[in-house]
Amino acid sequence: MKRKTIRWKILIPLILGILIMAAAFILISYQTYRQYEIDDCVNYARGLTGLIAHDIVKANDVEGIIRMGRAFPRYKELIEKLNKLRDAYPDVVYLYAYRPLKDGLHVVFDLDTDEFKGSAPGEVEHYYEAFKPYQQDMMDGKEIPPIISNEKYGHVLSVLTPLYDARGVCQCYIGADCSMNQLDRYARNVIHRIGSFFLIVMALALIFGILFTDRGVLRPMNRLENKAYLDTLTGLKNRTAYYDYNQVINKKMDDGRADYSILMIDINFLKRMNDEYGHEQGNLYLQGAAELIRKHFGDEHLYRIGGDEFVIILEGKAQEGIEEKIRAFKDEIARLKEDDSLQPWEKVSAAVGMAKYEKGRDASTEEVLRRADEAMYRQKIAMKAVRTE
């Protein structure tokens, strides 16, 4: 009886502690993951709307499109381009452009979907409830933060990018909506996996307690080597290290000492490599990509921040000759593509974009990274390598 009492004196606090930690961890993980997905969706949509505002829709055409509607010259060609572009961004469910005026939102374009037929150019939409707090800012052509709404078109996250003319006057807003329902499904899946993981952990902890409390001794556990700042697959610094160094850069920006550029590199066709040849070859593909990037740009501030995403921060003199390095990087990728002696997973393909910090324009490294990401996506589209999975 005494042995059972001792056992339960250890097991009950252990079980309660695991349950409390599980609940706290699940809650924190859900909130963290959901916010990460929202931020990722915002960056994804901004990449698309920024590309459209920069390269597709001309500010000088907006007035004519609203006035003439579908009869406007090149309107059909514009819609065809936008539909193809939206197909390359499968997480975007609605793509549109509005000119905000006092009487409502004047449609520039509104692409059809399977569920809804888009409004015709020149039509006037009422301000959605979620947009009303920003009505004056929109009419003034200001930057609008991401908006989450659940109205006529469902539960969506809206990203609005202003399109300015040469005089700096906002002609319209390019809008892209991502489905929050899909985002919430991702979050629920994460919660399910985390919950399952903690049930397994609790069962193992209970077994452990039963086996070892009878002896009155808990065998010491070996501490794992701290690899918090390394990506185990490529050996490069990881997202955590990148965020930590961002704090250093941001501090330099606050002190007026910042001089840096950011390169965004996205590896093409990783999903296809995994699907067709298996994850082992997919890992070899990523490792080869990491080595190719390290060869051309070094690894002092080279980070793997996502599955197929790498970021390089170049400071001061490290920026010298960067255009030549990028050109050499692209040339080697082209040579690999034409080398028939290589296996498919040895033919690394990647898109690269660069942005330089501009004092007075960029308030943080995130803004520089966003511009580098947009430049990368422009090259990716030119390479016809935008992910469609």
Domains in the chain: ranges and CATH: 1-221 (3.30.450.20), 237-382 (3.30.70.270)
Region 35-62: mean pLDDT is 90
Higher pLDDT, 20 or 267: 267
pLDDT of residue 331: 95
Mode of pairing for the β-strands spanning 237-238 and 302-304: parallel
- Indicate left, alpha or beta for 349 from its phi (over 0: left) and psi (-120 to 50: alpha): beta
Phi, psi angles (nearest 5°) of residue 121 = -60, 135
Model confidence at 222, pLDDT cuts 50, 70, 90, reads very low
111-115, 202-206, 261-265: which has the highest mean pLDDT? 261-265
pLDDT of residue 212: 63
Secondary structure of the chain as H, E, C letters: CHHHHHHHHHHHHHHHHHHHHHHHHHHHHHHHHHHHHHHHHHHHHHHHHHHHHHHHCCHHHHHHHHHHHHHCCCHHHHHHHHHHHHHCCCCEEEEEEEEEECCEEEEEEECCCCCCCCCCCCCEECCCCCCHHHHHHHHCCCCCCCEEEEECCEEEEEEEEEEECCCCCEEEEEEEEEEHHHHHHHHHHHHHHHHHHHHHHHHHHHHHHHHHHCCCCCCCCCCCCCCCCECCCCCCEEHHHHHHHHHHHHHHHHHCCCCEEEEEEEECCHHHHHHHHCHHHHHHHHHHHHHHHHHHHCCCCEEECCCCEEEEEEEHHHHCCHHHHHHHHHHHHHHHHHCCCCCHHHCCCEEEEEEECCCCCCCCHHHHHHHHHHHHHHHHHHCCCCCCC
Cβ-contact 59, 171 below 8 angstroms: yes
Phi, psi angles (nearest 5°) of residue 117 = -90, 130
CA distance 326 to 328: 5
Model confidence at 124, pLDDT cuts 50, 70, 90, reads very high
**Contacts with 161 (C-beta within 8 Å, 6 or more apart), sequence order:** 46, 49, 50, 52, 53, 173, 174, 175
Region 123-142: mean pLDDT is 94
> 192 pLDDT exceeds 80?
no
> 383 pLDDT exceeds 60?
yes
The pLDDT mean for the chain works out to 86
pLDDT of residue 243: 92
> 81 pLDDT exceeds 90?
yes
Phi, psi angles (nearest 5°) of residue 211 = -70, -35
**Contacts with 388 (C-beta within 8 Å, 6 or more apart), sequence order:** 87, 88, 90
Region 128-156: mean pLDDT is 92
Q: What is the tens place of the pLDDT at every residue in 309-366?
A: 999 999 999 999 999 999 999 999 999 999 999 999 999 999 999 999 999 899 999 9
pTM: 0.45
Of 138, 143, 151, nearest to 177 by C-alpha is: 151
pLDDT of residue 2: 39
Of 348, 227, 233, nearest to 293 by C-alpha is: 348
> 13 pLDDT exceeds 60?
yes
pLDDT of residue 23: 76
